[in-house]
Amino acid sequence: MKFIVVTGGVLSGLGKGIVTSSLGKLLKARGYNVTPIKFDGYLNVDAGTMNPLRHGEVFVLDDGTECDMDLGNYERFLDVTMNYYNNPTGGKIFNLVLKKERRGEYLGVDVQFIPHVTGEIKEWVRKVGKESNADIVIIEVGGTIGDIENSYFVEAMRQLKLEEGENNVLFIHVTLVPILKVVGEQKTKPTQASVRELLHMGVQPDFVVCRIEEPLKDGPRRKIALYCNVKESNVISDHDCKTIYEVPFVLDEENFSEKVLNELQLPVREKHMEDWSKLVDNIKNPEKEVTIAITGKYTALADSYVSIKEALIHSGAHLKAKANIKWIETTDIENGKASIADVLKDVDGIIVPGGFGSRGTEGKIKCIQYARENNIPYLGLCFGFQMAVIEFARNVCGLEGAHSTEIEPNTKYPVIDIIPEQKEIDEKGGTMRLGAYPAILKEGSIVASLYGKTEVSERHRHRYEVNPDYIEILEKHGLVFSGRSPDGKLMEFLEIPDHKFFVGTQAHPEFKSRLDSPAPLFYGFLKACLK
């Protein structure tokens, strides 16, 4: 088993996750079994209690793990299913160490960062690789070099290289090469400083991957190689391109995966990426375009809805179409700063995504009403599913003031209510209905035709459900619950049959969308928008 450690320098958000995913894709295309791991230094056990505006989207895995959005990139690029152990955090590691200490498993010694914390990290990494039968484990270290919160993890990786041997652990450092417009020069000093920090920690990078707006020139490349003690051929240009799915090809313009395999003393097998190349070409050269409104309350940070954006790109690649996203902050509609007719007049489809809390909900409900009454394709995801039920109850069934007890606990018509087993829970983290759950679809429904089967599994992240007391009146007025839990008690999908496309799901199908196999509901939605 071989290990690749990806670190980052200068600033966060450079794209370490995309480099990790792209390298994984290239190695998998050459026939290797690759397992990615993302370490996050924060003391949270997982990302579940974080505001998307601070941390970006909370991604959910099949096993219910709430995690960093980079795991979404791993799944989308490698078409693999991650689990709890693919995302160690500072909180998880320290929790593990403290529990062992309380059980007396450290044999009475004083528990320290070295060797106990670093030892648990190494054991964690090896265990993940072994259990996934990996040929190569790629470990992305979150944050930037110099952060206190990831320093002990970098130290563990230094030890890992010492223990596993020279050609079994490889370090890749992703760093920024800015271009000063005033002089038009590609500046290498930030990279030099970042690598110097890494060297202070006892780690010599084998590769330096340079994030840069345009291809790296020979002069700066030579300079980086000299000052960073790296072979010139191992300084890799990671310049801007039209889509993240093109990054594997950008990196391999310099035979990146081939060089990595040579450093690890592994055979360089033939690469197969023809299908991926065709889809990337469709993304770069679409034949049609549509405008999709995403009406949410975290729109100030587009990363809050990254899986939805990517799911639209996946479907667009297969339909040779581009979905231009129009971000709509529903709080502005709610407080009168924006007119519903003005903001939605030029859109071809409307998505209401997931969310929590009362802010912006009335704005979302108005968007749904606009989509239903004007026959505009609509896709409701999780909270968007619940809001669609509320809108229909109020404006079609005549249940004035119908609401969710999450927002209005004393509503006269609680069409959305908390499920009984959730009522006694006080803790917020990891206590929702999380992860993959099965659903049985209604034969002949829109949803069943899109999936091509009547039994499906999608990932969930919510605490509230459709109140069964109101299902009869909702269906009597034309709302069809086209998917339910296997016991028939929980509503999973809804649709309005005589609408161009009006579909909602209690799940988050965007989490399982891949470039190779787009989420069926997104594909059907985008197809309807194109019509």
Q: Which of 75, 406, 510, 529 is catalytic?
A: 510
Q: Could you tell me where the beta strands, DSSP code E, fall in 385-529?
A: 403-404, 414-418, 433-441, 455-462, 464-466, 480-484, 491-495, 502-505
Q: Say what angle helices 148-164 and 118-131 make with each other, to 10 degrees.
A: 60
Exposed, middle or buried by CB within 10 Å (0-12, 13-18, 19+), for 142? buried
Tell me the torsion sign for CA atoms 202, 204, 205, 206.
negative
Amino acid of residue 354: G
Q: Catalytic annotation on 272? A: no
Where do we find the tokens 């002069």? 219
Instruction: Classify residue 121 by its DSSP letter.
Output: H
d(CA 156, CA 168): 15
Q: Residue 293 half-sphere exposure, CB side, CA atoms within 13 Å?
A: 27
Strand partners, 136: 2, 34
Q: Which of 382, 391, 403, 495 is catalytic?
A: 382
Whether residue 168 contacts residue 126, with contact meaning beta carbons closer than 8 Å, is answered with no
d(CA 196, CA 203): 10
d(CA 418, CA 412): 15
- The values of phi and psi at residue 116, to 5°, are -75, -50
Q: Which of 120, 263, 508, 529 is catalytic?
A: 508
d(CA 273, CA 515): 12
Exposed, middle or buried by CB within 10 Å (0-12, 13-18, 19+), for 104? exposed
d(CA 190, CA 178): 8
Contacts with 288 (C-beta within 8 Å, 6 or more apart), sequence order? 319, 320, 321, 322, 530
Q: Catalytic annotation on 140? A: no
157-163-166-171 Cα dihedral, nearest 10 degrees: -10
Give the chain's largest Cα–Cα span. 74
Burial annotation 106-134 (CB, 10 A radius, 16+ → b, else e): eeeeeeeeeebbbebbbebbbebbeebeb
Question: What would the two tokens of residue 457 be?
Answer: 């599994």
Instruction: Classify residue 86 by its DSSP letter.
Output: G
Q: Catalytic annotation on 508? A: yes
- Report, as residue numbers or ranges, the catalytic residues: 382, 508, 510
